[in-house]
Amino acid sequence: MNAATLGNLCCLFAATTIGFSSATAAEKAGTVTAYSQGLHGYIGFGHEKLPSEGGYTAGMGFYAAVWPLVDQPLANFQIGLPSSWIQPDNSDNRNMPLCPEGTLARQWKERGPTWSSVFQTIEGGLGYWAGNHFRYGPPKFSMNATPQCYDYEIGSPGWSFFYSNEALPDDRLGIAQLSNRLLIPPDGLPFQGNPNGEFLGYTWMALPFTDPTTDDPPTGDQSWTCFLSAANFKGPIAYYIPETWSKIGKLFDQPFLHGRGLDARPGIMGGGAMEINTVPRFDAKDAKGTVYSKLPKLQWPVDERGRAYLVQDVTYYSKGALYDAFKAWREGGPPCTGRFDEKGAFKPRLNTHTTRYDQAGKKIVGVEHVFDTRVFDGNVWGLQWFTNDISPAGLFPQYFKQVGEERVAVAAADVPAETGLHSQAFELAEPGPTYTSPNSGAWARPGPVRGPFKVKLVDGSVVTYFWYRFVDQPSFQQYNWSDEKKAKLQAFVEKLHAAWSIDRDYMAPPTRGKLVSLDPALLVKPPSGLEAGYVPIVTRQEKAH
């Protein structure tokens, strides 16, 4: 029975009813119930409009802070650290559906009539995901893309984005492992030690590893390539094979889709955000029947003035930054260093706005009195904590009181002891099942040339990997490419491996702060005779015994 119900009762029965209600509330005080939907919102930044001239649609990147958002690995917890979002530019299409009937996203009617926002995306980045199998404290870095209207996702050279323990079917593999020095496990890339605000740089660049084709389906030449910049590794790690994007038109017999994917279209990349997705919570009532809730401890790295620097050096790139020199090199021109040319770069002025949060659909109020988003000197985006009585600098409010239809942030001291919330601990994550791959199909034909090898990662897992010739890795085997095309690509990657080391800059260095280090166990050295043209492909990841 709630206050509104009581208010509608006649005065004759008011005292009796109130007494009965209070007794019931007192009896229920301290009954703690666990829920999901503890917190939702997008802590993000935008920027000024990009110049209409210059074509800054061939790449985007920045440096993002890495820190342990939670001090323990929690179960059923998903928050992305600042990450980007890339889509193909289909702004010329005003009414034709890009998602065919039968795809998952086509069911989302509010995205019509074109469904352009859910047609194809490159997402991922830094974060914690509910599907992670091996949590260890700090976040991880993971690639992720949705090539077919969210029917499936691709997060590594073998697996989806934590949605399955088994490798993707051969015809849905989409990432080509490019680095011959870095492992890419299905559960994401962990970091060394306990980072606390150091930066990881990452950039997506559209590069022409192969020529455009007029085959069925016609396919563009854009291989969206992920570059990292860490203290112990710099350079490209992998790319999305162009056919990953183009084959949707053939699969659904939709000629209109030819040339509309990320293989051929300019990329739209607008700002970035921390996506707060899945956060557990506890609810309990006090002796008066008032509902209070508790969230896990969420923390940010702050300086002595309560500032958390989260994203810096946001840069958009034209084909003049790398694509042109890369293509000339592949076609027999002078070697390309791989360093992004500043002449093809544009750094927009950032802007931001106060985040709206909710808890299970109920508006959260009061967080804006604790901290708010800011663009600091140097065009750095982050958070500013204020002097307040609710939460110390660097901490998100943990406790909320229901007032009407809102959840109001309150200090821990203002939560009645009888709720039992103060001592309530959230469930910790346990190691998940083993990621496995088949011993047949694309993984076995042509198959690896050396292995298996095993390494233990800082997240408590053991990774098994084999060395494959670059064009023989599983992702390429679904395509009936000519021997000439494969030989040309193989020869070029051998040149790239010989010329591009992991100890020099590709992205411009960060303008402030230090770089984070990846888990050193991820770094491998090619066996003798396989120094160029071969890549380490992860085939299994399991709990260390």
pLDDT tens digits, 250-287 = 999 999 999 999 999 999 988 899 999 999 999 999 99
b/e per residue, 467-491, with b = 16+ CB within 10 A? bbbbbbbbbbbbeebeeeebebbee
Q: Is residue 376 included in any domain, yes or no?
A: no
Q: Residue 325: which domain range?
A: 41-275+313-346+431-543
pLDDT digits (tens, 9 = 90+) for 288-345: 999 999 999 999 999 999 999 999 999 999 999 999 999 999 999 999 999 999 999 9
Q: Is residue 392 included in any domain, yes or no?
A: no
- CA 107 – CA 414 distance, rounded (Å): 45
* The predicted structure's pLDDT at residue 268: 92
- CA 73 – CA 266 distance, rounded (Å): 38
Q: Is residue 66 included in any domain, yes or no?
A: yes
pLDDT at residue 15 tops 50:
no
3-state SS class at 342 = helix
* The predicted structure's pLDDT at residue 252: 98
pLDDT at residue 4 tops 50:
no
Asked if residue 486 lies in contact with residue 533, where contact means CB atoms within 8 angstroms, the answer is no
Percent pLDDT > 90 in the chain is: 92
Q: ∠151-431-171 over CA atoms, to 5°? A: 25
At 163, is the pLDDT very low, low, confident or very high (cuts 50, 70, 90)? confident
- Global pTM value: 0.93
- CA 518 – CA 192 distance, rounded (Å): 5
Q: Is residue 249 included in any domain, yes or no?
A: yes
Q: Is residue 293 included in any domain, yes or no?
A: no
- CA 326 – CA 407 distance, rounded (Å): 53
At 20, is the pLDDT very low, low, confident or very high (cuts 50, 70, 90)? very low
At 25, is the pLDDT very low, low, confident or very high (cuts 50, 70, 90)? low
Length of the chain: 545
Asked if residue 81 lies in contact with residue 123, where contact means CB atoms within 8 angstroms, the answer is no
Residue with tokens 């079917």: 169
Q: How many domains does the chain have?
A: 1
pLDDT digits (tens, 9 = 90+) for 236-254: 999 999 999 999 999 999 9
Asked if residue 41 lies in contact with residue 279, where contact means CB atoms within 8 angstroms, the answer is no
Plot region of 93 (φ>0 → left; ψ -120 to 50 → alpha; else → beta) = beta
Q: Is residue 332 included in any domain, yes or no?
A: yes
- CA 171 – CA 474 distance, rounded (Å): 10
Q: What is the mean pLDDT of the chain?
A: 94
Q: Is residue 466 included in any domain, yes or no?
A: yes
Q: Is residue 18 included in any domain, yes or no?
A: no
Strand pairing of 234-240 and 145-146? unpaired
